[in-house]
Structure 1
Amino acid sequence: MKLSIQLHLAGLSLSNTVSILEIFGVERARSTVHNWVHKADLQPESGRSPDHVAVDETVIRLNNEQYWLYAAVNPETNELLHTKLEPTRTNVIARSFFAKLREKHDVDTAVFLVDGAPTLKDACQRHGLRFQYEKHGNRNTVERVFREIKRRTSSFSNCFSNAAADTADDWLRSFSFAWNQLI
């Protein structure tokens, strides 16, 4: 079970993960491996205190619907601090994302690196957090994470097919855990 979770989160498709298990004489369905990953409820560790936090959002597709993936990354370590999948992009949602990030980590003295998104700037201001506009440089760490997530979903046309939002959000948290283990 542990090996299959690790293999899938490290980048293998469910089919390829099942094929590897068969080499060891273990026969499991793709749905079984999928369920193991979600039931493991893996999440990034809390309690980090980074000096800088790169924050961004990007569009992720669930079936034919558009969702917004919010992510916070420590640019010094490339560690994913927090992710959240939301059906829309608003000031209220961005503020909620920052509130959860602040609950999980000691980021009140960090400098937040944001792009031109008004929702992210508003959330920083509402929480009294220092931020700076940065289009490249350290903020690129969050872009690398987004590229990897999109690469992992490219076999589904950059879409989580037949997945509910909660399932995709669970997978993204598990991916965050695995990402942090591999960096």
Structure 2
Amino acid sequence: MSTRTITSLSGHREWIDLDFVERERTPEPAMALGIQSHVAGLSLSNPIELLDALGVDRSRKAVHDWVQKSDLQPEPGQSPNQIAFDETVIRINDQQFWLYAAAHLKTNDLLQVRIFSTTTTESTEIVLRELQRKHDVETAVFLVDGAQHLQTALQRTGLRFQMRRHGNRNAVERIFRELKRRTSSFSNCFSHVEPETAELWLQTFARWHTATN
């Protein structure tokens, strides 16, 4: 694990909602540690080792299932002045998908992450309308690159934007680099999972990223 990962594991875990737990035999603090370490370090080997040190014997599948069942999402209700908005390619089972991300420039929080099989004006609109429902973005300025479909979708949704190739917009690019670094143990590819599963992991990562930012 990286130094930041180790440091983040000593932090609070209030951002992890365990309401999904019903008859789980694992103590909740151990489950929270398992979820946190999987998102922070990615490899499922890490939480297994940590839990084993606590005397909790659980499988990789169990930790994977905890992350999926917790269904953690970026917290709503933010009011950013500027938002870095962009997309990048990731691979799931050797197929190409597009990852959209929106980042609050002042706090560097991830406001939204979504995955689509194609990048179109329509898919971009879906992401933007979800942002409008979850956050107060009506007066925010979206910083985007020269991609026409991003600009067209922003116009259709009535949101303000500026074309910016460098400077503040690099915030979301830094997050993309972090995501790709994190998935390096998968060779930047989520293997043997459905796109929905990969998207849930990425949304959990967004929640963790904001909580430890």
* TM-score, L = length of structure 1: 0.98
Give the SS at the match of 1:84.
strand
2:108 is aligned, of 64, 78, 85, to 78
The answer on 1:58 being equivalent to 2:88 is yes
Deviation at 1:160, TM superposition (A): 0.3
Equivalenced residue count is 183
Structure-to-structure mapping, 1:1-183, within 5 angstroms? 1-183=31-213
1:12-68 deviation per Cα after TM superposition (whole angstroms, max 9, x unaligned):
411121011111111111111000011111111111110001000000100110000
Of 148-157 and 11-20, the range deviating more from structure 2 = 11-20
Is the 8 Å Cα contact of residues 85 and 102 (structure 2) preserved in structure 1? yes
**How many Å separate the matches in 1 of 2:138 and 2:178?**
28
Q: Quick one: which amino acid aligns to residue 9 of structure 1? A: V
1:94-136 deviation per Cα after TM superposition (whole angstroms, max 9, x unaligned):
1111111111111010000001111110111111211111111
Q: Quick one: which amino acid aligns to residue 152 of structure 2? A: D
**How many Å separate the matches in 2 of 1:72 and 1:86?**
15
Give the SS at the match of 2:68.
helix
Q: Which runs of 5+ in 2 are unaligned?
A: 1-30
**How many Å separate the matches in 1 of 2:100 and 2:188?**
16
Give the SS at the match of 1:146.
helix
Give the SS at the match of 2:119.
coil
Give the SS at the match of 2:176.
helix
Give the SS at the match of 2:208.
helix
1:147-180 deviation per Cα after TM superposition (whole angstroms, max 9, x unaligned):
1111111111100011100000111111110000
The root-mean-square deviation of aligned C-alpha atoms, in Å, is 0.8
| Identical columns (%) | 55
Is the 8 Å Cα contact of residues 124 and 153 (structure 2) preserved in structure 1? yes
**How many Å separate the matches in 1 of 2:100 and 2:42?**
24
Q: Which runs of 5+ in 1 are unaligned?
A: none
Is the 8 Å Cα contact of residues 100 and 115 (structure 2) preserved in structure 1? yes
**How many Å separate the matches in 1 of 2:112 and 2:206?**
8
Give the SS at the match of 1:72.
strand
Q: Quick one: which amino acid aligns to residue 212 of structure 2? A: L
**How many Å separate the matches in 2 of 1:180 and 1:173?**
11
Structure with the larger RCO, 1 or 2 (CA within 8 Å, 6+ apart):
1
**How many Å separate the matches in 2 of 1:154 and 1:6?**
18
